[in-house]
Structure 1
């Protein structure tokens, strides 16, 4: 399994006729979650009783798989005022499997790991990551996908197993020791990978690359966003925004949360709750003294674009993984991609009219120098 301390690469083939038997075997490892169709247009990760209900060719789920590790709402501790005491609450998390995770969502989890596992590990997140098994699956892009521009369309690691679709089954990449054990325990379900399988894998990947709608260079995007803080796009698009926070709640890498103390009816005991928050809500930037760091909808709208397009230093990728959820699930039909393409100058209306004496001049930050003078 290991050669000189490095895990040996391993590829096996899962024939199509053995797919459901393999999925049933995963239940031996814990609760099985996978994408299922919940309406005419939408999919979501749900607990699986009948493996035949699993959707293999879905575009995107409503909620990203981060919901299994960073819970939308969880109790942190219980307290008693009279006793001046608190009891930390860490759930007894059982092992579970998340099957059918796309490459972009795997990168989303890797980004979350850099936030909640690295310098100051979050014990609530860590216990779920230790108990969770990730099994990825190949996909083909639709018009909302742009993970190729974010370099998140192919995952090298971050999974225990990854299934790539073949005409007659799946080419399986083994990513961890746990993945090796899963394969070994079900070795009768697998076959050796043939030269034909490799050719079909390569053909699938080449076709997938050509199917993306956008093939552009976004390397300078984060800098252009900072230089174009006065671009008219910000006013136009933020006016459309409903400030509902849908884009944050469906994002694989949004990690903001709020903490509230919820008292019980006895007025003495209670619990501290952590739950997801959204930078698009007015309350997000509100602090003591009724001061708000981002009092306007426009400032909150801009903040999200700057945040998602900043770079994660450890992984060398942006905090946006190109899944397309924020556009697909936006009730105001705001296109995150097209707004970014406007800033990049890739659309006909990207550049505003020439600066004249009657128009405010654009500059760094919000158009003023540190001394308050217009630049």
Structure 2
């Protein structure tokens, strides 16, 4: 990998030159506490030290709402409406969000590529940036706190600038075209980089092993935590829409007023909505809020075999933005036995005497 240094005084000029490669999007402050990726006109509004954006970068590649094709019922044909996507630059992406995109790639690019997602990935330039964790971050437990690939450039903060890792041929071309803005990396820069990474590692709130979490979740399906926490849930779906790896969508045909023409669109869906598990005939595979609550925890902690990671990258958005104050991390730590809560010990003692059917009866009827 190639390493160069961008002096701090050249940062804004470099950002301005990035616009030559496409529309520039970067994290900007949109309120007193919140940030989001927006198109940038004034590069001095770019936030380098933000904690997390409300919406993850996936919104640029997997659109919240997207028209797939138009149709005319009077004709046996349809017209695809793939957008003419212009090149764009996404600056300031954290490592966990880069892993989020890599996970989406395994879903939308492998085997049967999704043409709508693919064209945006090909047109997008990803520039990552280092960050310091806050109380919601746990990407270190998910092994997504340092990205080895999945980016064109990655910026690591130094006292007087940025150590830049070049991660793609396009990244090499960007650096080469602006080579006068860069310098060679010195021994002092390497020491500063190591010190920043050390402090960053120590700043994480949790340092523990979650290797057996996905198995314990399946073994603890009767834990009282599920009932207690799902009661708090508003079923609003914010945990899904803010998640970098949630990928479910629904498809709907919209017919125009003439009753003949229309279009088909897909839009983000949430497994926390009752309609998500509803199928023809009126049957619902997850009829209760508790069922849907448990499904999300099992899904996010399942294993992506291609990357060797869970589908949760530890960004902390689902906890930080939950209007009900539900802590995803705290609930997982309860299942791991790292945090106290009500314990199903008495139930566990009686199961051998009365069988597993007894454990099912203890749950009571779902409402």
Query: Residues 90-134 of structure 1, C-alpha deviation per residue, up to 9 Å, x if partnerless?
Result: 110000000000000000000000000001100000000000000
Deviation (angstroms), 1:271: 0.2
The answer to whether 1:208 aligns with 2:200 is yes
2:79 is matched with which residue? 87
Change (3 A) 1:322 1:366: farther
2:175 to 172, 175, 183: 183
**Among candidates 149, 158, 164, match of residue 150 of structure 2:** 158
Pick one of 7, 23, 33 that aligns with 1:41. 33
Distance 2:244 2:358 in 1: 29
**Aligned partners of 1:148 and 1:212 also within 8 Å:** yes
Q: Is the 8 A contact 1:78 1:87 kept in 2?
A: yes
Decide which of 253, 264, 277 is 2:245's aligned counterpart: 253
Cα shift readout 1:286-323 (whole Å, capped 9, x = no counterpart): 11111111110000000000000001000001000000
1:138-287 alignment, distance < 5 Å? 138-287=130-279
Structure 1 residue 89: Cα displacement: 1.1
CA distance in 2, matches of 1:76, 1:262: 11
Which residue in the other structure is 2:98 paired with?
Answer: 106
CA distance in 2, matches of 1:356, 1:258: 40
Match of 1:55 among 47, 67, 73: 47
Per-residue deviation, 1:224: 0.1
The residue number in structure 2 matching 1:129 is 121
Separation in structure 2 between the aligned mates of residue 29 and residue 327 of structure 1, nearest angstrom: 35
C-alpha change, 1:225 and 1:84, in structure 2 (3 Å) is same
Query: What is the CA-CA distance between 1:82 and the residue it aligns to?
Result: 1.0
Mapped contact 2:224–2:342 kept (Cα < 8 A): no
Report if the CA contact (8 A) 2:73-2:261 is conserved: yes
Match of 1:12, SS state, is strand
Unaligned 5+ runs, structure 2: 362-367
Distance 1:350 1:213 in 2: 23
2:309 match: 317
Counterpart CA distance in 2 for 1:362 and 1:227 is 18
Residues 335 and 366 of structure 1, relative CA distance in 2, 3 Å threshold: farther
Query: SS in structure 2 opposite 1:78?
Result: strand
**Could you tell me which residue of structure 2 aligns to residue 293 of structure 1?**
285
Question: Residue 355 of structure 1 contacts residue 361 of structure 1 at CA under 8 Å; is this kept in 2?
Answer: no
8 Å contact 1:229–1:364 — kept in the other structure?
no
Q: Give 1 or 2: higher helix fraction.
A: 2
Task: Please give the alpha-carbon distance, in whole angstroms, between the structure 2 residues aligned to 1:36 and 1:49.
Answer: 11
- Check if 1:333 corresponds to 2:310: no
Contact 2:347 2:359 survives alignment (8 Å): no
- What per-residue deviation string (whole Å, max 9, x for no partner) do you get for residues 35-94 of structure 1? 000001100000000000000000000000000000000000000111122111111000
User: How has the CA–CA distance of structure 1 residues 75 and 230 changed in structure 2, closer, same or farther, with 3 Å as cutoff?
Assistant: same
Q: TM-score when scaled to structure 1?
A: 0.93
Change (3 A) 1:52 1:10: same
Report the aligned-residue RMSD.
1.9
**SS of the counterpart of 2:184?**
coil
Instruction: Tell me the TM-score normalized by structure 2.
Output: 0.95
Aligned residue-pair number? 361
Contact 2:225 2:341 in 1 (8 A): no
- The secondary structure found in structure 2 opposite 1:274 is strand
Partner of 1:306: 298
| Contact 1:31–1:97 (8 Å) recurs in 2 | yes
Q: Which ranges in structure 1 are unaligned for 5 or more consecutive residues?
A: 1-8, 370-375
Displaced runs of 4+ in structure 1, greater than 3 A? Answer: 356-369
CA contact 1:361–1:367 (8 Å) conserved in 2: no
